[in-house]
């Protein structure tokens, strides 16, 4: 865990100098006790060592006026103690500055990477739902950026996915969406645990980029119409979806098993949709050369009509949407063949 890593770094950097400083104090305390004799207490000896190492100079608690050896001992304690203390302070300063600099550099690199993204997705909230969304985007090769206001949630996710692009901010703020590249995003997932916040995220995302598709999570029924009215393209209710899943597990168990297998295996088939770009010249299904083992064409959405299991001579035109069962690599191959970006 990240806290364990931080503890290990602190131990590695400060264990040796701390042990050295403690040793100096113990040696000094014992030495001054021997030099001062019975009239000097252990506390006086420790205090003498401390003011010597700290260069406070309140005066000699242990009388060294008649002890040349004691003065030589004090010189040695001062040299070693001051050296160790200076080293500890410089190490602490470097440790703090190094952490700040590394954080600033990581943030700058992350902002640069986000600025270079195009047609990516923004996940607002990386709780249990957001984590599953991110996993599916990851295994299907789609770039995404995470916005999360809970720093512990971000740190927990980054422990398992250290290369994730993320920002620590309130996703309902316009500045957070802008920093996440909303201007060039293909879609936004408003999946925080608060319906009111998902409503604001939906409204902000649509105002900043009307072309971005927004899918919102909603628990309360009275929020569904509100979120739809501010521009959500799709609203998912975990309670409704869960109920449908329970029923399906009972009456169509093999279908559910098939869909589960398809979604749980990282490299398995997915039901994907591929939009035919405007730059594509008219053609036919046969011309797309989809007759491959890793591609099954299920349907085409053309002019608001569905054509299921289309024939090879069926015409394909810009703006159509292909619904195919394929692997993530197969989807990318189809997109390349269509000239999609």
Burial class (CB in 10 A: 0-12, 13-18, 19+), 197: middle
d(CA 333, CA 71): 82
- Residue 101's pLDDT is 59
* Segment 208-230 mean pLDDT: 93
* Segment 317-336 mean pLDDT: 88
Inter-helix orientation angle 42-53/68-115, to 10°: 60
Q: Which residues contact 111 (CB under 8 A, 6 or more apart)?
A: 179
Considering only CA atoms, which of 133, 115, 139 is closest in space to residue 270? 139
d(CA 271, CA 259): 10
> What percentage of the chain has pLDDT greater than the value 70?
93
Q: With 80 as the cut, is the pLDDT of residue 5 above it?
A: no
pLDDT of 123-181, one tens digit each?
999 999 999 999 999 988 899 999 999 988 998 898 889 889 999 899 999 999 999 99
- Residue 267's pLDDT is 65
Q: Radius of gyration of the chain from Cα atoms?
A: 33
Sign of CA dihedral 327, 329, 331, 337: negative
The overall average pLDDT reported for the chain is 86
* Segment 206-224 mean pLDDT: 93
- Residue 200's pLDDT is 96
Considering only CA atoms, which of 98, 114, 157, 112 is closest in space to residue 132? 157
Count of positions (residues) in the chain: 341
How far lies 314's CA from each of 192, 297, 320, in Å? Answer: 43, 12, 12
- Residue 171's pLDDT is 93
Q: With 90 as the cut, is the pLDDT of residue 1 above it?
A: no
pLDDT of 10-55, one tens digit each?
777 788 888 988 998 899 899 888 888 888 889 888 888 888 888 8
Considering only CA atoms, which of 323, 227, 217 is closest in space to residue 272? 323
d(CA 89, CA 300): 69
- Residue 212's pLDDT is 96
Q: With 70 as the cut, is the pLDDT of residue 264 above it?
A: no
What's this model's pTM, rounded to 2 decimal places? 0.62
pLDDT of 75-134, one tens digit each?
898 899 888 888 888 888 877 766 555 666 677 888 899 999 999 999 999 999 999 999
pLDDT of 266-293, one tens digit each?
667 788 889 998 888 878 888 888 877 7
Residue 45 carries which DSSP code?
Answer: H
pLDDT of 54-67, one tens digit each?
887 677 777 777 78
Q: With 70 as the cut, is the pLDDT of residue 340 above it?
A: no
pLDDT of 234-254, one tens digit each?
999 888 888 888 898 899 899
Q: With 60 as the cut, is the pLDDT of residue 3 above it?
A: no
d(CA 232, CA 215): 6
Structural domains of the chain, ranges and CATH numbers in brackets:
2-112 (1.10.287.70), 117-236 (3.40.50.720), 269-338 (3.30.70.1450)
- Residue 218's pLDDT is 93
- Residue 110's pLDDT is 86
Render the burial of 135-166: b for 16+ CB within 10 Å, e for the rest: eebbbeebbbbbbbbeeebbeebeeeeeebbb
């Amino acid at each position: 865990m990240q806290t364990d890593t931080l503890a290990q770094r602190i131990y590695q950097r400060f264990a040796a100098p701390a042990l050295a400083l403690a040793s100096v104090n113990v040696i000094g305390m014992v030495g001054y006790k021997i030099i001062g004799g019975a009239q000097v207490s252990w506390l006086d000896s420790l205090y003498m060592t401390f003011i010597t190492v700290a260069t406070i100079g309140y005066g000699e608690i242990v009388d060294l006026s008649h002890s040349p050896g004691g003065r030589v001992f004090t010189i040695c304690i001062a040299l070693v103690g001051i050296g160790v203390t200076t080293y500890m302070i410089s190490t602490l300063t470097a440790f703090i500055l190094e952490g700040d600099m590394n954080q600033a550099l990581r943030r700058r690199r992350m902002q640069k990477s986000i600025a270079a993204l195009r047609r990516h997705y923004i996940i607002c909230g990386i709780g249990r739902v957001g984590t599953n969304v991110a996993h599916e985007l990851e295994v299907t090769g789609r770039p995404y950026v995470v916005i999360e206001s809970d720093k512990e949630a971000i740190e927990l996710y980054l422990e398992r996915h250290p290369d994730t692009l993320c920002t620590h901010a309130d996703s309902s703020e316009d500045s957070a969406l802008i920093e996440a590249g909303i201007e060039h995003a293909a879609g936004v997932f408003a999946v925080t645990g608060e319906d009111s916040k998902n409503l604001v995220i939906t409204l902000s995302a649509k105002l900043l980029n009307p072309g971005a598709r927004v899918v919102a999570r909603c628990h309360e029924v009275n929020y569904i119409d509100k979120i739809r009215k501010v521009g959500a393209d799709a609203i998912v209710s975990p309670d409704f979806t869960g109920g449908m899943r329970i029923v399906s597990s009972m009456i169509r168990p093999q279908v559910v098993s098939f869909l589960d297998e398809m979604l749980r295996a990282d490299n398995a088939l997915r039901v994907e949709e591929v939009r035919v770009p405007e730059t594509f010249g008219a053609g036919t299904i046969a011309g797309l050369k989809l007759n491959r083992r890793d591609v099954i064409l299920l349907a085409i959405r053309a002019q608001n009509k569905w054509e299921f299991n289309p024939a090879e001579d069926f015409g394909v035109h810009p703006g159509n949407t292909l619904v195919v069962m394929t692997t993530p690599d197969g989807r990318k191959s189809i997109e390349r063949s269509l000239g999609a970006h």
